[in-house]
Amino acid sequence: MKKVSIVILNWNGSSLMKRFLPSVVAHSPEEIAEIVVADNGSTDDSLAMLAKEFPGVRVIALKENYGFAEGYNRALAEITTPYTVLLNSDVEVTPHWLEAPLKALDTEQEIAAVQPKILAEKERDCFEYAGASGGFIDRYGYPFCRGRMFHVIEKDEGQYDTPCDILWGSGAALFIRTDVYRKEGGLDAGFFAHQEEIDLCWRLRTRGYRLVCLPDSVVYHVGGATLNQENPRKTFLNFRNNLLMLYKNLPEERLRATMRLRFWLDYLAALQFLLTGQFANVRAVYRARKAFRKLRTAYLPLRRENLQKATNPFPPEILSKSLLVTFYLKGKKRYGEIDFL
């Protein structure tokens, strides 16, 4: 029996797979790994291309575009290996990339998920925005990484090459125990895309699992291949989903004050969009907050479930300070300058 399934979610990404699948095939020994493409109802030539050029790749053909979250949920329902890698279609893997994560999962049962070091495919000496060398958030829900704070991305000079416990790993390349993924509810399908992996990882961490970054495993990620950084749809999903994530996971004693401040911070972000002429993004922030208010009641049962199952309600990997203050007022723009205490 194979040990790990490398599941690549695809939607109209034929050209990306032609470019990046060869590295996955070359560096994933077939005696331990199966490569799976879960196709989200593509309308390009993805399926025909896979059949012709990658006949050894298993295909799960979904009937429509379920988004990142539900697409993976449906794909992992058909996975039988102990471990799964969620891998973006625009990721280049490197020799021996499977070794350190699989060894950790084999030997340390409390570890539920592992992220490799993620570098930028175009600027290969720099970290990649989505994940870098392991993810964290501050008390108000703003994500950051070892190697990336807001828009500032560091060069990889070996400064984060030590293994590290993290709050979240990037969905661009995330090793996870298949049974834990299913047992703990998988990705939130209501998110559709963006920040659903942070929500899942936060949930796992509060339920007593460990998540780690192991930089001995290295991959290169293009990033932004599905939605441009300034796309209003991306702005909407990021703001709405971040609010839903906070609502689902914050302990009761922190929720009200956090949400009160986030109200003002979100509209401050909208003002910045307005002053820079990004009017569609202004509307996206407004629509995101309106959508959150509409969904909050429906998410109450999930919040109650999370609070009931939490054994570690505010993990130490959450910065107890404001990242905005740390970054903009104190001028600390590198992860190594942050004091978590």
Supply the pLDDT for residue 227: 44
149-158: per-residue pLDDT in tens? 999 999 999 9
Average pLDDT score over residue span 124-136: 97
pLDDT band at 205 (very low <50, low <70, confident <90, very high): very high
247-273: per-residue pLDDT in tens? 999 999 999 999 999 999 999 999 999
38-94: per-residue pLDDT in tens? 999 999 999 999 999 999 999 999 999 999 999 999 999 999 999 999 999 999 999
CA-CA distance, 107 to 102, in Å (whole number)? 9
pLDDT band at 229 (very low <50, low <70, confident <90, very high): low
171-202: per-residue pLDDT in tens? 999 999 999 999 999 999 999 989 999 999 99
Pairing of the two strands 33-40 and 173-177? unpaired
Tell me if 53 sits within 8 A of 35, measured CB to CB: no
Supply the pLDDT for residue 49: 98
| Secondary structure element (H or E) that encloses residue 9, with its range | strand 4-10
Supply the pLDDT for residue 226: 44
pLDDT band at 223 (very low <50, low <70, confident <90, very high): confident
Tell me if 174 sits within 8 A of 283, measured CB to CB: no
According to DSSP H, which parts of the chain are helical? Answer: 14-26, 46-53, 67-76, 99-107, 178-183, 196-206, 232-249, 252-275, 279-309, 323-324
Q: Phi first, then psi: give them for residue 245, nearest 5 degrees.
A: -65, -45
CA-CA distance, 219 to 222, in Å (whole number)? 10
Tell me if 119 sits within 8 A of 156, measured CB to CB: yes
HSE, side-chain direction, 13 A CA sphere, residue 325: 8
Is pLDDT of 112 > 70? yes
